[in-house]
């Protein structure tokens, strides 16, 4: 065998060793803190029929959490893959409530780091001057603003899902977050493993006007490109319907904040409209608009998706495919040289 062929052979062997080593990694679940509180009453199905079995397995993730008094961290990694595909969700209710998402996906060929932060600043009661159902600060009359800066301690329960509950000290606004390890149906809404489900609940808002509306002031901070979508990733994959979203795209990865196009207001389905983006200091503002009601429940999501999975075939990285092809080519080359 010539020196060149020896080098090729050693390179192929090295790639195989790298591939086998990275494939042998295993992960364990470590729930750092668990509440002794009982899990609230939710209908949770961890094996929804709507999702293909192969897809369920390929998408499974290992979730670990770290919960403190007014902050929480959720870490999520792919369970059956040598691809680095890590999601970190940071939740803080120290002042304004914010959720920060970080997605990292690294292979031999690509490296992705996508980050964004969504802050929920206030609830605004307003008079809708032109009747379009959307809060427009330059046009509509603001009656009052309830700043969301005072929260009870974060409550955490771990059972069939990781459930975090955060409520304002006046009990008017509640946020509940669900993190899952596989496709899970929570109260009729399917959550993908790379998503967190969020419930917004408004209860007994102290309206000053009998015909006014509400707007939830939301701020987005990211260096990615903004896109407002009428159809979500969940709808494209067939496990969701009637959703809209803001997509934050960087390279081949997308982070998104999606929401159901309808909320339940005093037991009735009511359309939720979003305002156009408005530039602000270090970010963009958007308002989700709600009707005049005593009890309002809405269903958003936050998640990530990446096209980097195209570098993998049936769970095996392309480096393994290249290695097999390389070995076959080397064997043919050696046989050809012997025949000559």
* Domain-wise residue ranges, the chain: 33-310
H-type helices in the chain, by residue range? 3-23, 53-59, 233-237, 318-339
- What pLDDT sits at residue 255? 93
For residues 295 and 340, give the distance between their C-alpha atoms in angstroms, rounded to a whole number: 84
pTM above 0.85, yes or no: no
* Average confidence score pLDDT of the chain: 84
What whole-number distance in Å separates Cα of residue 306 and Cα of residue 275? 27
Task: Express as a percent the part of the chain with pLDDT over 90.
Answer: 63
Query: 338 pLDDT exceeds 70?
Result: no
| pLDDT confidence band for 225 (50 / 70 / 90) | confident
User: For 33-310, CATH number?
Assistant: 2.70.98
Q: Which of 13-22, 93-102, 280-289 has the lowest mean pLDDT?
A: 13-22
Q: Residue 109's pLDDT band (boundaries 50, 70, 90)? A: confident
- Checking if the pLDDT of 23 tops 50, the result is no
């Amino acid at each position: 065998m010539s020196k060149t062929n020896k080098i090729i052979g050693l390179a192929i062997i090295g790639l195989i060793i790298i591939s086998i080593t990275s494939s042998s990694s295993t992960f364990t679940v470590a729930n750092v803190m668990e509440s002794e509180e009982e899990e609230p009453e939710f209908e949770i199905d961890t094996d929804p029929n709507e999702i293909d079995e192969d897809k369920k397995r390929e998408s499974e993730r290992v979730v670990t959490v770290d919960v403190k008094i007014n902050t929480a961290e959720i870490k999520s990694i792919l369970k059956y893959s040598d691809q680095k595909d890590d999601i970190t969700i940071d939740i803080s209710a120290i002042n304004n409530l914010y959720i920060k998402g970080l997605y990292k996906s690294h292979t031999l060929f690509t490296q992705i780091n996508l980050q964004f932060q969504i802050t929920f600043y206030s609830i605004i009661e307003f008079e809708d001057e032109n009747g379009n159902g959307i809060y427009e600060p330059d046009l509509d009359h603001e009656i009052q603003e309830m700043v969301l800066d005072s929260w009870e301690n974060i409550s955490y329960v771990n059972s069939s899902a990781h459930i975090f509950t955060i409520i304002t000290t006046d009990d008017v606004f509640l946020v509940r977050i669900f993190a899952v390890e596989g496709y899970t149906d929570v109260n009729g809404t399917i959550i993908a493993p790379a998503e967190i489900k969020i419930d917004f609940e408004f209860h007994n808002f102290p309206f000053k006007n009998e015909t006014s509306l509400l707007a939830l002031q939301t701020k987005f901070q990211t260096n990615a490109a903004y896109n407002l979508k009428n159809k979500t990733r969940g709808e494209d994959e067939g496990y969701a319907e009637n959703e809209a979203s803001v997509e934050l795209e960087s390279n081949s990865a997308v982070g998104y904040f999606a929401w159901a196009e309808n909320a339940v207001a005093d037991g009735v389905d009511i359309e939720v409209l979003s305002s156009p983006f408005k530039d602000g200091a270090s970010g963009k503002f958007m308002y989700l608009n709600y009707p005049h009601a005593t009890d309002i429940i809405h269903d958003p999501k936050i998640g990530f998706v990446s096209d980097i999975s195209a570098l993998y075939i049936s769970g095996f990285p392309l480096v393994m495919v290249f290695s097999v092809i390389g070995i076959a080519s080397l064997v043919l080359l050696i046989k050809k040289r012997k025949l000559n």
